Amino acid sequence: MRLNKAVAASGLCARRKADELIFAGRVAVDGKSETNPARRVGAGEVISVDGKPLRRKPEYAYLLLHKPVRTVCTLSDPQGRPTVMDCLPETARGLGLFPVGRLDYFSEGLLLLTNDGELANRLTHPRHHVDKVYEVLVRGPVTERQLDVMRDGMRLSDGTPLLPVEARRIKEKREGRDTLLCLTLRQGVNRQIRRMCDDLGLTILRLRRVTQGGLRLGALKVGESRFLAPEEVQKLRNNAGPAETP
């Protein structure tokens, strides 16, 4: 972030006044006077005005990744497996990003990463029921009865109750030997789709998340990522439910 923007973002003054303070030599970065308003400052650098440190607002970042299969959604892995952090571009490293929720090891698709803990909590909190849409390729045909069980809100074999799932066929492939489903979930039960399909006798061949919080995976290739535009971040906020009240 530019120094003048960081000073203004602290709430101390407007951008024009921030420029005046910097030109006057009243602003320091890590104890050294700085007179260039365009100087870039990192999250770890301390800005002070007239010797008093500013309380800086955090600089948030939001990334959409097409997670590959055989990749874990953690910051590191004790077994040495690839993690989603290995997929990040250089421009996203050092920002303190972390995954918003998870996709299991053998699943792929849309995964959000951010350093905005408040929004991440709203997106994953059970009470907000943020929609997540998956394309699921299963072996063989799928009956209407099996879809109805999902739609009615099934109970897993271990007793876990599930909310109703929007379930429909997209198409049958290989002359009906495989079926592509579209499933919309509104809760975050661990490995929910795989457990549902296991209980219904369906074998998953591919599981890909294509939508979350109103954002779509689109044509993003496996392993690629992009930063969200401001309007996309606002869409996430709108779909994530109300913020926590103190």
Same domain, 129 and 206: yes
Within-domain flag for 87: yes
Say what the pLDDT of residue 57 is. Answer: 67
pLDDT at position 246 over 50? no
Same domain, 35 and 126: no
Within-domain flag for 241: no
Same domain, 37 and 86: no
Q: Which residues pair with 169 in a beta bridge?
A: 181
Same domain, 41 and 71: no
pLDDT at position 176 over 70? no
Measured CA to CA, the distance from residue 229 to residue 189 in angstroms comes to: 29
Same domain, 46 and 92: no
Same domain, 178 and 129: yes
Say what the pLDDT of residue 210 is. Answer: 98
Within-domain flag for 238: no
Supply the residues annotated as catalytic.
104
Residue 197 has which token pair?
A: 């399909």
Within-domain flag for 246: no
**What domain count does the chain have?**
2
CATH code of 92's domain: 3.30.2350.10
DSSP 46-108: PEEETTEE--PPP---EEEEEEPSS-BSSS--TT---BGGGG--GGGTTS--EESS---TT-E
Same domain, 37 and 123: no
Which residue range(s) make up the domain with 216? 62-226
Same domain, 139 and 222: yes
Within-domain flag for 244: no
CATH code of 42's domain: 3.10.290.10
Same domain, 31 and 94: no
What predicted TM-score, i.e. pTM, was given to this entire model? 0.77
- Give per-residue pLDDT as tens, 43-78: 778 999 999 998 876 678 999 999 999 999 999 999
Measured CA to CA, the distance from residue 194 to residue 191 in angstroms comes to: 6
Same domain, 31 and 122: no
Within-domain flag for 142: yes
Residue 178 has which token pair?
A: 């495989």
Same domain, 22 and 134: no
Within-domain flag for 232: no
Say what the pLDDT of residue 243 is. Answer: 65
Same domain, 195 and 138: yes
- Give per-residue pLDDT as tens, 105-132: 999 999 999 988 889 988 988 777 889 9
Mean pLDDT, rounded, of the chain: 91
- Give per-residue pLDDT as tens, 208-229: 999 999 999 999 999 999 999 9
Within-domain flag for 236: no
The position carrying tokens 């952090």 is: 85
